[in-house]
Amino acid sequence: MSEKKSYRLEDLTFDEINAILKHKWHLSEQLGRDAGIEFAVQDFFEHHAAEWQKQQIEADLAAQKEEIIRHKWFLSQKLGYDVGNTPAALDWVKSGFAEHWRNRTGPYKNRK
């Protein structure tokens, strides 16, 4: 029999904690009483985390594409011609915009 993994709030990201708190609220409404944070954390990771993480990744990718398209427009304006998607994406990464976006303004800005 497999042992249940335990999750500690201090090891989770801000976004994960928010998702768990929303999940706890829904569980409490269903049960008609406070579900408790420990139960909500365990239930979230056992039944909902995979789908939530998939949705987060899809949202991150969509936001990243928007940033690359924005970068393509600025780069094309600067150079005076349409640089194309691939060169714009490569320039976005090489210029450090990708790292900055991910760590400062993008999906990882709230990570420890």
Q: Encode the chain (112 residues) as per-residue pLDDT tens digits.
A: 456 677 777 888 888 999 999 999 999 999 999 999 999 999 999 999 999 999 999 998 999 999 999 999 999 999 999 999 999 999 999 998 888 888 776 555 665 4
Closest CA to 57 of 96, 107, 1: 107
Q: How far apart are CA 83 and CA 28, in angstroms?
A: 53
Q: How far apart are CA 18 and CA 76, in angstroms?
A: 39
pTM over 0.75: no
